[in-house]
Structure 1
Amino acid sequence: MTHSDLLSSTIRELDRARTTPDLIQATRSLSTLKDLKAAPKLIEVLSFNNPAVGAVAMGGLIALGPDVVPILLRNLNAHDYGARAWAIRALAELKDPRGTDVLIQALQQDIAPSVRRAAAKGLAAISGASIHSPDRTERCLQALIDAGEDGEWVVRYAVAYGLEFCLLHCRLLGSIRDQASSTLNILAGESEEVGVVRLRAKLALQRLKAS
C-alpha cells in the first residue's frame, strides 16, 4: 500500500467512526501519518464538538509544524466557535508570526470567550518568539493591554498571564512597558471584581518584581 493509499484509507476509517473511542483512534492514526494533506480533515474534526477528539486533532495539526499555518489560516471556521478555539490554540502553540493578525482580530472581535482567551495566550507566545521584530511584539502587547477591559474574566485572566510573559521575555521600552504594568496593576486592584483575576495579576506583579 502506498502512502497515498494509506492516507485515503485512514480518512475513510475516520469517516466511518461513530463512537468517541473510534473517533479518537481514527484521528490519532491520521495524525500519526504527519502528512500535510491530512490537515483539511484534521481541521474538519475540530468542528465535531467533541473535546477529546478535538484535542487529538489539534495535536496532529501542531505536529505538522509551520507548513500547516497557511492551511489553518485559510480554513478558520467562521460559524463554529469551538472549532475556531481549537484552531487558534494550534496557531498559538506553533508560535508562527503569520498568525499574528488573525490572533489580534480574534482577541478584539470574536464573540466566544474561549477563542479570545486562546488568542491572548497565542499573542504572548508569538511576542516571545519575535525578538527580532519589535514592531510585532508591540502590536501583540498592545492587543493584550486593550483586552484588559474584556467583559469576560477568563479573557482578563489570560491577559494577566500574557502581560507577565511579555514583560519577562520581551525587550520592551518606553510607554508600552508602562502601559502593560499599569494594566496589571488595574487587574490586581479592587476595581477588578473577580478574585482569581486579581490573584493572577498580583502573582504576575510579584514575579516581575523578583525578576
Structure 2
Amino acid sequence: MRSATQFTNQTIMTDPDSLTTLLTAIAVADSATKMVDAVENLAQARLEAAVPNLIAVLGYNNPGAAVAAVEGLIAIGKPAVAPLLELLDGYNYGARAWALRALAGIGDARALELLLDAAKNDFALSVRRAAARGLGTINWDELPVESIAPNQARVIEVLLTVSQDHEWVVRYAAITGLQELAIASTISNPDLTRQILGHFDRLVDRDEDLTVIARIWLAQKEIQTYITALLSQQPELEPQLAIDWQTTLAKLYARKRQEQPYPEGDPHKFRAVAAAILKGDR
C-alpha cells in the first residue's frame, strides 16, 4: 500500500475524465482486493473533487480501502478539512473514527472542537481513540496567538481525563496526544509540559496495563530527548525548561522493577495471560 508521503509527492490532478475513470473502477470492483486497489488509485490522484468520494469510502466495510482513503485525504490536506467536518457520519462510528484519523493526520485547527467533543463524549472507543490522538497533532500556529494558550488548556483538560478512560487503547492514544502537546508547548508554555510530565508520573503509579505504562515511558523518553536536543541548540532556555528528570526516571525504574516477569510455572503468570486474552476478545 502506498504511504501518505508518497501521495504528497504526486502532482494534483484536475482532469474530470480522470475522476470519472477512477470512480468507475471503484463502482465495478467485485472483490475487496480490487476495491482497495481502486481506492488507492483514486487517493494517489489527489483530486480535490474526489474528496467526497474518499469520505464515502470511509463508511465501506473494507478496512484496507478506508486506510487508503484516509491516506489520500491526508495527502490532499486542507481542502479536505471542510468536507470532512461537514460530511462526518453521525451514525456509522467506524466511518467517524476513520474521518477523525484523517483530520488528525492533517492537523488543521478547524477540527479542534470536534476532536475535543469526540475524545470526551463519543460512545465508540475507536472514535475516542482517534480523537485523543488527533488532539496532539493540532497545528497551533494556525490559531491567533492570543487563543493558543487557552485552547491548549482545554486540550490538556480533556486529555488528562481521557488518559483515565476505561479502555486501554483510548488511554494509550491519550498518552500519545499528551506527548505531542508537551513537545509542542515546550518553549511557549513550559508549565504545561511540566504538568503533563507530572501527570505521567502519577499514571505510572496507577495504571495496571503494561502496554499503557510502556507508552508512558516512551513518551517521557521522547520529551526528554526533545528537550535535551533543544537545550543543546539554545542553552539560554535552561532556566525555563528546568525539569527534575532524575526524580522522574527514579519513579519509572521503581515501577519497572515491580513489573518483573513471573518465574516459569508461577500461577500468577497464567492468570495474567488469561486476563490479557479476555481483554483482547472484547
TM-score by length of 2: 0.67
Query: Which of 59, 70, 76 is matched with 2:82 structurally?
Result: 70
Find the counterpart in structure 2 of residue 153 from structure 1: 168
Q: What is the deviation of 1:87?
A: 0.7
Query: Which of 195, 200, 209 is matched with 1:184 structurally?
Result: 200
Find the counterpart in structure 2 of residue 200 from structure 1: 215
2:6 aligned with 1:6, yes or no?
no
Query: Which of 46, 52, 60 is matched with 1:48 structurally?
Result: 60
2:121 aligned with 1:109, yes or no?
yes
Q: What is the deviation of 1:52?
A: 0.9
- Between 86-95 and 140-149, the greater mean CA deviation after superposition: 140-149
Q: What is the deviation of 1:126?
A: 0.5
In structure 2, distance between residues paired with 1:156 and 1:129: 26
In structure 2, distance between residues paired with 1:209 and 1:69: 33
Query: Are the counterparts in 2 of residues 163 and 180 from structure 1 also a CA contact under 8 Å?
Result: yes
In structure 2, distance between residues paired with 1:66 and 1:107: 22
- Between 102-111 and 142-151, the greater mean CA deviation after superposition: 142-151
Counting matched residue pairs gives 208
Opposite residue 67 of structure 1, the aligned amino acid is P
In structure 2, distance between residues paired with 1:193 and 1:69: 37
> 5+ unaligned residues in a row in structure 1: which ranges?
none
Find the counterpart in structure 1 of residue 96 from structure 2: 84
2:184 aligned with 1:172, yes or no?
no
Other structure's SS at 1:126 match? coil
1:79-137 per-position Cα deviation (integer Å, ceiling 9, x unaligned): 11211111101100101000111111110111121211111111111166568422332
In structure 2, distance between residues paired with 1:18 and 1:128: 43
Larger radius of gyration: 2
In structure 2, distance between residues paired with 1:130 and 1:184: 28
Structure showing greater relative contact order (alpha-carbon pairs closer than 8 Å, 6 or more residues apart): 1
Query: Are the counterparts in 2 of residues 124 and 141 from structure 1 also a CA contact under 8 Å?
Result: no
Query: Which of 171, 177, 189 is matched with 1:162 structurally?
Result: 177
Q: Structure 2 vs 1, CA of residues 94 and 209 (structure 1 numbering), >3 Å: closer, same or farther?
A: closer
Query: Are the counterparts in 2 of residues 148 and 183 from structure 1 also a CA contact under 8 Å?
Result: no
Going by fraction, where is helix more abundant, 1 or 2?
A: 1
> 5+ unaligned residues in a row in structure 2: which ranges?
1-13, 228-282
In structure 2, distance between residues paired with 1:127 and 1:42: 23
Q: Structure 2 vs 1, CA of residues 32 and 185 (structure 1 numbering), >3 Å: closer, same or farther?
A: same
In structure 1, distance between residues paired with 2:220 and 2:69: 36
Q: Please give the root-mean-square deviation of Cα atoms over the aligned residues, in Å.
A: 2.2
Query: Are the counterparts in 2 of residues 107 and 147 from structure 1 also a CA contact under 8 Å?
Result: yes
